[in-house]
Amino acid sequence: MHGMNGWMRRLCRFLAASVLLLASSAALSAEPLTVAVAANVKYAFADLQQEFTRQTGIPVQAAFGSSGKLTAQIESGAPFDLFLSADMKYPAALYARKLATAAPKVYANGVLVLWTVKPLDLTRGLKVLTDPAVQKIAIANPALAPYGREAVRALDHLGLRAAVEGKLVYGESISQTSQYIDSGAADAGFTAKSIVLAPSVQGKGHWVEVPRDSYQPIAQGVVILKYGEDTHAKAAHRFVEFLASPAARTIFEKYGYVLP
């Protein structure tokens, strides 16, 4: 009887180990979620995907671009599971076209900054852009990128657009715009606070927040796309839930976002 009990204990341990191994293998072999991500979230998303995979075992891959360009790709049938937009307009339009399964939820609010690597006096705020020393001002394409659209709104609000219109150079996305600024190809430019706070960018040049009353709040929305609901529904819903978790909120705060 004693030998039988020992055998049973060994069998139970073997079965438990097998279950854990199978669970681990299932997690490792899980198909990755593919997420379309607005360019301003690029640096924060690296932290988000690492933490989500650590918690769930589900791998995540991302495609970055302007919200407008990503929306066009989704409308053309790109196989993305989720879309993290830089605003609510684009994901709402996808939902209206039945390309998303629900109305967008706000996951973070973006903050607009003026950034330069040149020796400009940013204590003057956006008025510094009217100086003759400022020849080129980088801005994301307002037709495609919400941060570019709101930068134009801020210039209008502050009565500066006419004075600087001829200096504007347009990037396809906030990432390309930031490259213009970082390289010095533009004397200054508008970008997301999340970018200037990224570890690889911190300390390069200097920046100042654009007055928040000069542009509309940049509420950024997430949707599960029809493709994601059809192919990876459980994992996609887990990712949306994760975005509201304390761990994700800590990451968003680290990159300067204002939380809903």
User: What are the boundaries of each domain within the chain?
Assistant: 9-109+218-254, 110-214
Distance of CA 38 to the CA centre of its chain: 5
Helix (H) and strand (E) counts for the chain? 11, 10
User: Distance (Å, rounded) from C-alpha 212 to C-alpha 70?
Assistant: 26
Return per-residue pLDDT of the chain as tens, 260 residues: 455 455 455 544 555 544 444 444 344 447 899 999 999 999 999 999 999 999 999 999 999 999 999 999 999 999 999 999 999 999 999 999 999 999 999 999 999 999 999 999 999 999 999 999 999 999 999 999 999 999 999 999 999 999 999 999 999 999 999 999 999 999 999 999 999 999 999 999 999 999 999 999 999 999 999 999 999 999 999 999 999 999 999 999 999 999 99
pLDDT at position 26 is: 41
Across 1-111, the runs of DSSP E, i.e. the strands, are: 33-38, 60-65, 82-84, 105-110
For 12, the enclosing helix (H) or strand (E) is helix 2-28
For 239, the enclosing helix (H) or strand (E) is helix 233-243
pLDDT at position 30 is: 72
Residue 85 · residue 221 · CB < 8 Å: yes
Q: Does domain 9-109+218-254 have CATH number 3.40.50.300?
A: no
Its pTM stands at 0.84
110-214 architecture in CATH?
3-Layer(aba) Sandwich (3.40)
pLDDT at position 10 is: 55
